Amino acid sequence: EEQNLFAEQKSFEVEQARKELELYAEQLQQSSQYKSEFLANMSHELRTPLNSLLILSQFLVENANGTLNTDEQEYARIINSSGNDLLSLINDILDLSKVEAGKLEIEIAAVNLTELPHVMERNFTPIAKQRNLQFRIIQHPGLPSLIFSDEQRLQQILKNLLSNAFKFTESGAVTLSIRKADPLEANIALPDASTANVIAFSVSDTGIGIPVNKRILIFEAFQQVDGKTERKYGGTGLGLSISREFANLLGGRIALESEEGKGSTFTLYIPCLHNPSSMEMVTMYAE
Give me the residues that bind ligand ADP (CB under 6 A), please. 160, 164-165, 168, 205, 207-208, 210, 218, 224-225, 229, 235-241, 264
Closest C-alpha to 168, from 130, 205, 123, 125: 205
Strands 173-181 and 134-139: parallel
Angle at 210 between CA 207 and CA 214, to 5 degrees: 160
CA–CA gap between residue 70 and residue 183 (Å, rounded): 55
Comparing CB distances to ligand ADP, the nearer of 128 and 218 is: 218
Comparing CB distances to ligand ADP, the nearer of 239 and 252 is: 239
CA–CA gap between residue 107 and residue 148 (Å, rounded): 10
Comparing CB distances to ligand ADP, the nearer of 191 and 239 is: 239
97 alpha-carbon distance from chain centroid: 12
Q: Smallest gap, in angstroms, from Cβ of residue 219 to ligand ADP?
A: 7
Q: Smallest gap, in angstroms, from Cβ of residue 138 to ligand ADP?
A: 18
Comparing CB distances to ligand ADP, the nearer of 199 and 218 is: 218
Comparing CB distances to ligand ADP, the nearer of 167 and 195 is: 167
Comparing CB distances to ligand ADP, the nearer of 91 and 236 is: 236
Q: Smallest gap, in angstroms, from Cβ of residue 264 to ligand ADP?
A: 4
Note every long-range contact of 55-59, with CB atoms under 8 Å and residues 24 or more positions apart, other chains counting. Answer: 57/83
Measured in degrees and rounded to the nearest 5, phi and psi for residue 142 equal 90, 5
Q: Smallest gap, in angstroms, from Cβ of residue 223 to ligand ADP?
A: 6
Which ranges constitute the DSSP H helices of the chain?
A: 2-62, 70-100, 116-130, 151-167, 183-186, 227-233, 239-249, 278-286
Q: Smallest gap, in angstroms, from Cβ of residue 24 to ligand ADP?
A: 33
Q: Smallest gap, in angstroms, from Cβ of residue 79 to ligand ADP?
A: 21
The H or E element spanning position 148 is strand 146-149
Q: Smallest gap, in angstroms, from Cβ of residue 238 to ligand ADP?
A: 6
Q: Measured at CB, which residue is nearest to ligand ADP? A: 235
Angle at 238 between CA 235 and CA 243, to 5 degrees: 125
Comparing CB distances to ligand ADP, the nearer of 147 and 161 is: 161
